[in-house]
Amino acid sequence: MEKYGYVRVSSKEQNPARQIQAMEEAGIKSGNMFVDKISGKTFQRPAYYELLGKLKEGDVLIIKSIDRLGRNYQEILEQWRKIVKEIKANINEN
């Protein structure tokens, strides 16, 4: 089992430091932390897709809050289903 962290801020001007600090406090190694600086309106996010490619059954994905996954409720549900049902990883909020 591996622990991963996903951090997202809505623009390049925003600072992800608080989310990164929360991931570090949760024990996420820097190589297992994925950061996107892009709007939550879209799931076209390079770091997010890199993360999905690494997640395996039994792994744990840590997010600061569900809104870090996105703003589109239906797409959040679809991504949650993909992670939990298809990949069989777990998601925890920190």
Q: Is 10 a catalytic residue?
A: yes
Residue with tokens 């024990």: 27
Looking at 10, 11, 39, 65, which residue is catalytic? 10
The rounded distance, in Å, linking the Cα atoms of 54 and 75 is: 20
Residues in contact with 26: Cβ distance below 8 Å, sequence separation at least 6, in sequence order: 3, 5, 62, 94
| Neighbour tally for 68: CB within 10 Å | 19
Cα-Cα end-to-end distance for the chain = 18
What residues are annotated to the active site?
A: 10
